[in-house]
Amino acid sequence: MKNQVIYFAIMLGNKNREFAQISGDLQILSAKVIDQFTLTGTLFTNGWEDAFYEKILENEKSISYQKAILLEKIPRAAVLFSPKAADLRKLVSYHDVTLLIEEIDDFLISIVSFLKELNLSDSDYTDFKLTLKKMVRSLKDLANAAIFSFIREDKAETIRILGKNTDIEQLSTEITENIVASFQEIPLSGQQVLNIISLNKVAYILEKIKNCVLNIAKSTIYATEGTNIRHQLSQS
């Protein structure tokens, strides 16, 4: 009996350490993707700079590496510790959030790829750049709050995040409407057409990033309560 108690105590300690390592790895991954938001926003402000682009690509490599570590550790923890329902939900949620963070990074890389081809130096694009930068900054703050609420298992903060109005869709609609108002009466060069199409695509991608961030928040509800609201809230 005493040996059993010692065994279970050791296993519990090992499990807690493994979960703490997974949480720490997720924080490292999160810090990199938050940095990607900052760098992307800077490109809207300063225009294209190779140094920022190289840093973004460097972060992308770190994100892929950190994701691989997490996707190795999470199933290993499930196999080693035969977790009960609550811990299993937590591991499933860590897996989902890891993939969502990677998806956010992929979207940001797509935005940067568009920016590389654009020429937004004319004053005609100033308002568009300011709006897009505002969207990026808003999403960065929302993503940071959602990720760390998940790590802390902070249900109250998560509910606040899910109820917050970020105006991302409204700002995206404003960009489309302003493009029509600004350029419909003038002949357009090939570069201007490319700029207009890409501005619309960037705004659309930022809407997709918001969906990923909200799904991270919804993963907190699943991890803490066992209630899967991701599909449910998507329909409302």
Q: Which of 25-29, 34-38, 71-75, 85-89 has the lowest mean pLDDT?
A: 85-89
CA atoms within 13 A on the CB side of 227: 8
3-state SS, one letter per residue, for the chain: CHHHHHHHHHHHHHHHHHHHHHHHHHHHHHHHHHHHHHHHHHHHHHCCCHHHHHHHHHHHHHHHHHHHHHHHHHHHHHHHHCCCHHHHHHHHHHHHHHHHHHHHHHHHHHHHHHHHHCCCCCHHHHHHHHHHHHHHHHHHHHHHHHHHHHHHCCHHHHHHHHHCCCCHHHHHHHHHHHHHHHHCCCCCCHHHHHHHHHHHHHHHHHHHHHHHHHHHHHHHHHHHHCCCCHHHHHHC
Question: pLDDT at position 40, please?
Answer: 94
> Which backbone phi and psi does 186 adopt, to 5 degrees?
-125, 150
From CA 213, how far away is CA 165, in angstroms rounded? 13
Contact, 137 vs 41, CB < 8 A? Answer: yes
Contacts of 61 (CB under 8 A, 6+ apart): none
**Interval 198-220: pLDDT, tens:** 999 999 999 999 999 999 999 99
Count: domains in the chain: 1
Top pLDDT among 160 and 10 is at 160
State residue 83's pLDDT score: 73
CB atoms within 10 A of CB 5: 9
User: What local confidence, expressed as pLDDT, does residue 143 receive?
Assistant: 96
- Mind listing the pLDDT tens digit for each residue in 66-94? 999 999 999 998 888 777 888 899 999 99
Smallest CA-to-CA distance from 219 within 166, 143, 108, 165 is with 143
Tell me the residue range of the domain where 192 lies: 2-235
pLDDT over threshold 50, residue 8:
no
pLDDT at 100: 97
Average pLDDT over residues 6-25: 70
Confidence of residue 228 (pLDDT cuts 50, 70, 90): confident
Instruction: Work out the percent of the chain whose per-residue pLDDT is above 90.
Output: 57
Token code pair at residue 112: 């940067």
pLDDT band at 236 (very low <50, low <70, confident <90, very high): very low
Render pLDDT for 175-192 as a digit per residue (tens, 0 to 9): 999 988 888 878 888 888
Task: Please determine, for residue 233, whether its predicted confidence score (pLDDT) is greater than 60.
Answer: no
What is the domain-level CATH number for residue 18? 1.20.58.220
Q: How far is CA 196 from the centre of its chain?
A: 25
